[in-house]
Amino acid sequence: MSIAKEADMGLFSKDIRTMDDLLLHGLQDIYYAEQQITKAMPKMIDQATNGDLAQGLKLHLEETNKQIERLEQVFKKLGKQPSGTDCPAIDGLIKESDETAGEIDDKSVLDAAIVANAQAVEHYEIARYGTLIAWAEELGHDDIVRFLTTNLNEEKAANTKLNTVALRKGVNRGAVS
Ligand SMILES: [Fe+2]
Ligand SMILES: [Fe+2]
């Protein structure tokens, strides 16, 4: 690892000094997370058997690509280059999702696991966007709040859709029968 990279990660100095720094760090964290999510979702879509689940995930993958573009707009508004910073939380969620899926043979049980894994990701995103919006409002960055709010609303809708798929579109019932 280069010295510059280590300095970026704050190993040599504490780089987050102000709330603006913390907001920027949070944006870099979710920017990285969204990118990792777009890489992980095609496999989940492939593995899903329930048609409503696969379709819902496909739509949310398209939304996620748009969310990344919105985050790029946010960086631009703040006069910053879009960049990501390692987010061990999302790496962990994706790793656990992969590992669980790898342990399951039964396709119906796998669908239930995919819903659970996807919901863990959505809840992470909802937590992050909620915080970023509150900080941006407090700091007077009203111009970025609407981009972040659109992303937050899509995450909430995706989570609600996953609930519907599990509870009313037969994923959970299929898994236990
Ligand atoms: Fe997202
Ligand atoms: Fe999402």
Condensed to tens digits (0 to 9), the pLDDT of residues 152-168 reads 999 999 999 999 999 88
pLDDT band at 169 (very low <50, low <70, confident <90, very high): confident
pTM to 2 decimal places = 0.89
- What is the CA(14)–ligand 2 centre distance, in A? 30
More confident residue, 4 or 148: 148
Alpha carbon separation from 20 to 26, 29, 150 (Å, rounded): 10, 14, 21
Q: Which ligand is nearest to the CA of 56?
A: 2
What is the model's pLDDT at position 176?
84
Contact 155, 125 (CB under 8 A): yes
**Beta-carbon neighbours within 5 Å of ion ligand 1:** 34, 64, 67, 125
The residue-averaged pLDDT of 3-21 equals 71
- What is the CA(3)–ligand 2 centre distance, in A? 34
Condensed to tens digits (0 to 9), the pLDDT of residues 71-125 reads 999 999 999 999 999 899 999 999 999 999 999 999 999 999 999 999 999 999 9
Q: Which ligand is nearest to the CA of 71?
A: 1
